[in-house]
Amino acid sequence: MSLVRRAGPGDAPEVLRLRQIMIDALPGGDATTHWHAPALPGLRERLAEPDGDFAAFVVDHPGRPGALAALVVGTVDYRIGKASSPLGRSGYVFSVATDPDARRRGYARACMAQLLDWFRERGAGQVLLTASAEAEPLYAALGFVHKPDPTMTLTL
């Protein structure tokens, strides 16, 4: 039996806690948590949609009942098709986090495997993510490669 399960609405506070751990570890991370309360209702709603374009896969913490040890979150979105993705469906991984006291046990890898299966089931022809230096070996082992993409961002 797999340790990985699909997160549900009741997991939302723990999903936010692990996401904050990930954010705090990023360069320029923002340790403030004031955004958790307004984010919680929308996250619960998305986690309650079993057939939607959003999924989170988690592992329960073996030493702390009610806590999560690891998390991966992704979405499938539509972009006009191209050679590498004729259906135009792309997966995007945007949160991968493991509780500091549960690291080096393969939890993130197991969660990523479930998320990649979920993307395949939905016809995603490609999966995109942004890798931290610490997580890059995991993604490379799963087959991810760097692409020469001059990505830019605008905060609205």
Does residue 44 fall inside a structural domain?
yes
Digit-by-digit pLDDT tens for the chain (156 residues) are 479 999 999 999 999 999 999 888 877 767 788 899 999 999 999 999 989 999 999 999 998 999 999 999 999 999 898 887 888 999 999 899 999 999 999 999 999 999 999 999 999 988 999 888 888 889 899 998 888 777 766 567
Does residue 155 fall inside a structural domain?
no
How far apart, in whole angstroms, are the C-alpha atoms of residue 41 and residue 36? 9
How far apart, in whole angstroms, are the C-alpha atoms of residue 156 and residue 144? 29
Q: pTM of this prediction? A: 0.90
Does residue 17 fall inside a structural domain?
yes
Q: Which helix (H) or strand (E) holds 16?
A: helix 12-25
Q: Which helix (H) or strand (E) holds 90?
A: strand 89-98
Rounded to a whole number of angstroms, the CA Rg of the chain reads 16
Write the CATH number for 109. Answer: 3.40.630.30
Q: Which helix (H) or strand (E) holds 143?
A: none
Give the residue numbers spanning the domain of 124.
4-141
Does residue 153 fall inside a structural domain?
no
Does residue 148 fall inside a structural domain?
no
Does residue 21 fall inside a structural domain?
yes
**Helix, strand, or coil (residue 102):** helix
Does residue 78 fall inside a structural domain?
yes
Query: Residue 5 CB: number of other CB atoms within 10 A?
Result: 15
Domain count, the chain: 1
Closest CA to 95 of 131, 64, 134, 53: 131
